[in-house]
Amino acid sequence: MNIKKPLMVAILRQNFIDEMSRKGTKKGLKFETKIIIVRYIYYLINLPMQKQEIDKETLIKAFDPLADLSLQLLEKAEKSIIETPDDLLQATGLKKEITTQEKAIDEKKSSILAPAKEFVNAVTGYAKELLQPLDTAKQIISNKVLEYNKIQEQKRREEQERIRKEQEELRLKQEAEQKKIEEQRLENERKQKELAEKENELSDEELRLEKKRIAIENEKLKLEQERQAELARKETEENERKAKMEQERLDLEAKANKPKGIRTIRQFEVIDKKLVPIEFLDVNDTKVNQVIKLGTREIPGINIYSKEIL
Domain boundaries, the chain: 5-146, 177-257
What number of residues does the chain have?
310
Contact 283, 302 (CB under 8 A): yes
What is the reported pLDDT for 18?
57
State which amino acid sits at residue 61.
K
Listed in sequence order, the residues at least 6 apart from 241 whose beta carbon sits closer than 8 Å to its beta carbon are none
pTM over 0.85: no
Which stretches of the chain score pLDDT less than 50? 1-9, 23-27, 47-50
State which amino acid sits at residue 151.
I
20, with CB counted inside 10 A (0-12, 13-18, 19+), is: buried
Taking Cα atoms as reference points, which of 239, 261, 262 lies closest to residue 153? 262
